[in-house]
């Protein structure tokens, strides 16, 4: 789309709210690939979006349910891979942030959420009100439905301009300014003639939306990739997604943009550069008793976090253990719904039967830093339910089985602690797959100096 002459258009970002009553199917298309629908038959949210686009003088509107042939898997996959171009090239993305579903609409009168309202007598005998609130427009006190959706994060980050209909008011943002309706001091910014601090024009950049304040210019070098990606992944995996098989695809557009900006190869949730050892040490943050099982159908290599359905975070480990090296990897896919691949490591390795470790193990929690107070303990973070642990009478218990511990890095705030992967042999007996992350004091039986340095392949 970048090299083509295309008509001006807007995009809609909204919550489906369940199955759609009206969507694109092959039988609706004519010989030219077009279909006609009476606008009165559209759900309220879609009708409102058309009204906004027309009021802005934009004649074309891209809506996923209407523009993607929903029953055609090939068309869905093709359009998913086009998401960066679709949202990047739109004049504006209209966000129906206050709507729970396509039937709610968003152009209705808002309720008054103000914490304090003071009546005022205005000149000329007019009456008015002064509203006092402790919150700010960019941090609403009520949860907006669209803000909880995983797909919406990608749509927001990929869009150069946002027009958002929120809990109380309309908000807008671009690479130069952010404001909201009712702000009397809102600057009028001419995007076309705006310049950056260096004197050049503002380029489109995904990174503009990673910094919410001021003139948002962040580096697009690979040095900042880990920090940017860590923030995105933590936010993204905490959001809701209706179809869990979309977990890889719903962040694939962001990954495409980052790969193009940094020149670093994407690995289905991770990145192929010098910080890959750190990225391999991702861990699940979902509470133990709320862990979801591993998907029945594999969508990503087990050593990549999209292989799970749980919330995750990335650690920032600066130093690897002696003997660790990445020998090679092969990943196919990653921007769409599925990916496959293996990674081969050379590292200090130890085999453990967890039955004898039962009393020494502590399960990690959402706040990883609290483990600083207990460095002598072995800490586990399972990736999925029913693999490392089983719940008995409401309490997690280790499953007595043989596992492989692969040491990778030293903890940044305590070089005496080591982190690594917990692996299990698959049913074929040929490959290992990841089931969790461990952290332990680099001493005693967990002293990696005494572990054998071996090669291992993880699928």
Any idea where the domains of the chain sit in the sequence?
9-109+138-218, 244-458
- Where does 327-420 have alpha helices with state H? none
User: Quick check: 62 pLDDT over 90?
Assistant: yes
Give pLDDT, residue 140.
62
Please give the structure tokens belonging to residue 348.
Answer: 């200090």
User: Quick check: 131 pLDDT over 90?
Assistant: no
Q: Tell me which of 71-80, 267-276, 371-380 is least confident.
A: 371-380
DSSP assignment of 135-177 equals SBTTB-SS--GGGGBHHHHHHHHH-S-EEEE-SSSEEEE-SS-
* Contact residues for 201 (Cβ-Cβ < 8 A; gap 6+): 194, 195
Please give the structure tokens belonging to residue 4.
Answer: 């083509």
Q: What is the mean pLDDT of residues 195-210?
A: 42
Give pLDDT, residue 6.
67
Q: What is the mean pLDDT of residues 102-117?
A: 82
User: Quick check: 340 pLDDT over 90?
Assistant: yes
pTM of the model: 0.84
Q: Are 41 and 22 in contact (CB under 8 A)?
A: yes
**Which among 138, 139, 176, 179 is positioned nearest to 160, based on CA atoms?**
176
Give pLDDT, residue 376.
52
H and E: helices and strands count for the chain: 8, 23
What percent of the chain shows pLDDT beyond 90? 45
Q: How confident is the model at residue 369 (pLDDT cuts 50, 70, 90)?
A: very low
Give pLDDT, residue 415.
77
Q: What is the mean pLDDT of residues 428-434?
A: 89
The one-character DSSP state at 222 is G
pLDDT tens profile 298-321? 999 999 999 999 999 998 777 999
Q: How confident is the model at residue 186 (pLDDT cuts 50, 70, 90)?
A: very low
Q: Tell me which of 121-135, 170-184, 209-223 is least confident.
A: 209-223
Residue with tokens 């992350």: 437
372 or 232, higher pLDDT: 232
Give pLDDT, residue 216.
40
């Amino acid at each position: 789309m970048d090299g083509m002459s295309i008509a001006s258009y807007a995009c809609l970002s909204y919550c489906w709210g369940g199955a759609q009553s009206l969507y694109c199917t092959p039988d609706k298309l004519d010989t030219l690939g077009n279909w006609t629908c009476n606008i009165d038959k559209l759900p309220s949210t879609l009708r409102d979006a058309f009204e906004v686009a027309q009021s802005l003088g934009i004649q074309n509107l891209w809506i996923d349910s209407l523009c993607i042939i929903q029953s055609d898997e090939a068309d869905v996959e093709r359009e998913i891979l086009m998401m960066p171009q679709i949202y990047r090239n739109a004049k504006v993305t209209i966000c129906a942030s206050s709507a729970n579903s396509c039937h709610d609409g968003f152009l209705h009168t808002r309720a008054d959420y103000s914490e304090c309202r003071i009546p005022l007598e205005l000149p000329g005998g007019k009456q008015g009100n002064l509203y006092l609130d402790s919150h700010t427009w960019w941090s609403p006190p009520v949860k907006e439905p669209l803000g909880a959706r995983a797909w919406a994060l990608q749509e927001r980050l990929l869009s150069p301009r946002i027009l958002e209909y929120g809990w109380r008011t309309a908000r807008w943002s671009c690479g130069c300014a952010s404001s909201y309706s009712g702000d009397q001091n809102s600057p009028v910014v001419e995007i076309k003639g705006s310049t950056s601090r260096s004197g050049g024009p503002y380029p489109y950049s995904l990174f503009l939306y990673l910094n919410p304040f001021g003139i948002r210019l962040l580096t697009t070098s690979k040095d900042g990739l880990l920090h940017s990606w860590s923030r995105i992944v933590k936010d993204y995996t905490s959001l809701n997604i209706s179809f869990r098989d979309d977990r890889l695809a719903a962040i694939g557009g962001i990954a495409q943009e980052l790969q193009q900006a940094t020149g670093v190869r994407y690995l289905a949730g991770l990145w192929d550069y010098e910080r890959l050892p750190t990225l391999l040490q991702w861990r699940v943050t979902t509470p133990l008793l709320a862990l979801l099982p591993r998907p029945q159908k594999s969508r990503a290599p087990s050593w990549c976090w999209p292989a799970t359905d749980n919330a995750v975070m990335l650690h920032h480990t600066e130093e690897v253990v002696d003997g660790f090296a990445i020998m090679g990897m092969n990943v196919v896919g990653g921007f769409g719904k599925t990916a496959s691949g293996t990674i081969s490591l050379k590292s200090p390795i130890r085999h453990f039967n967890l039955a004898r470790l039962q009393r020494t193990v502590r399960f990690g929690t959402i706040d990883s830093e609290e483990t600083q107070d207990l460095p002598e303990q072995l800490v586990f973070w399972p990736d999925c339910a029913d693999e490392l642990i089983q719940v008995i009478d409401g309490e997690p218990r280790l499953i007595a089985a043989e596992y492989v511990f692969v040491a990778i890095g030293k903890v940044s705030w305590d070089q005496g602690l080591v982190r690594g992967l917990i692996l299990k042999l698959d049913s074929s007996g040929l490959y290992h797959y990841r089931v969790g992350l461990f952290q332990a004091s680099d001493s005693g039986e967990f002293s990696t100096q005494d572990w054998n340095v071996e090669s291992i392949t993880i699928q």
